[in-house]
Amino acid sequence: MNNIFIKSDTEGKTPLIDFKTSGELKLEGSSFPENPVDFYEPLVNWINDLKKELPGTITMTIKLEYFNTASSKLILYMFKSLESIHLSKASAVKILWLYNKIDTDMLESGKDYKSIISVPFDLVEYA
């Protein structure tokens, strides 16, 4: 299993992805890819494959400025895969949802995700 590093595209439609087998997962930027399933499916599969070589802790940091509805659903799939790991108690899982203090929409989105999944989920404000 290899790390995944994907730069944000030049149009800003896809986020930066930095998934490390050490358990540090980062998604940052904007997300409204032309084909969200093609973009996110390998990431969901990678998280599912991580179950074969689980690190002691997994921390996913999300710092999005914008995401569309299709991306929202696929981000939830990633969270559900992490929830499966968390509930099995095979690894300590934590999600950090970073949001700009003036972006109430992103705060509300974080709160919505937090209410849906059973994983330690921190809402972290930044300036």
Q: Tell me: the pLDDT tens digits for 24-83?
A: 999 999 999 999 999 999 999 999 999 898 999 999 999 999 999 999 999 999 999 999
pLDDT of 12 above 90: no
Q: pTM value?
A: 0.94
Q: Model confidence at 10, in pLDDT bands (50, 70, 90)?
A: confident
Domains of the chain: 4-126 (3.30.750)
Determine the Cα angle at 14 with ends 93 and 60, to 5°.
Answer: 10
Q: How many CB atoms lie within 10 A of CB 12?
A: 13
Percent of the chain with pLDDT over 70: 100
Task: Provide the pLDDT for residue 116.
Answer: 96
Rounded Cα distance between 83 and 50, Å, is 13
* Average pLDDT taken over every residue of the chain: 96
Distance between CA atoms of residues 112 and 37, nearest Å? 21
